[in-house]
Amino acid sequence: MEEVIVQIETQVNPTENPEKIKTALRNIFGEVTVSISPEGKDNVLVANVAGQDSLIKFRNLLRSDRIRDAARKALFRSIKGNTISFCLNKQVAFAGHVSFSQETAESPLGPIRVEIASSNPRKLIEWLAEKTV
């Protein structure tokens, strides 16, 4: 198994229920420990997990949602050094599905920002979203 560290964060808007955001994160990443930190006038919800096993639920969702090829493309584009950085739609995550989004303007409630540090990001993506054909 690869050495993997996953950092997840999202802004908690004043109109949002933090428990629903925690549910959204757990729908995608399983049982993660979540903390809320104040940042300016808003709060930021943060979760950190380690190990490739922490991504099994995410991997299974890519498979069951039948988006492995699209996910591969998005994930390979998001590699910078030994880090994979991408955003997910918060509302779709609450519904238990995966939808990649842009940092701004695409999700009215703001995105879930995910950063995965890995000693071999390409190999990790091959494991997360193997080719379908």
Q: What is the CATH number of the domain that holds 36?
A: 3.30.1440.10
* pLDDT tens digits along 101-131: 987 666 678 899 999 999 999 999 999 998 8
Q: How many domains are contained in the chain?
A: 1
**How far is the first Cα of the chain from the last one, in angstroms, to the nearest whole number?**
24
Asked if 18 and 45 count as a contact pair (C-beta separation under 8 A), the reply is yes
Q: Is residue 36 part of a domain?
A: yes
* pLDDT tens digits along 82-91: 999 999 999 9
Q: What is the pTM of this model?
A: 0.90
- What's the CA gap between 10 and 69, in Å, rounded? 25
Q: Is residue 133 part of a domain?
A: no
Name the residue range of residue 35's domain.
Answer: 4-128
Q: Is residue 109 part of a domain?
A: yes
Q: Which of 93, 95, 75 is nearest to 85 (CA)?
A: 75
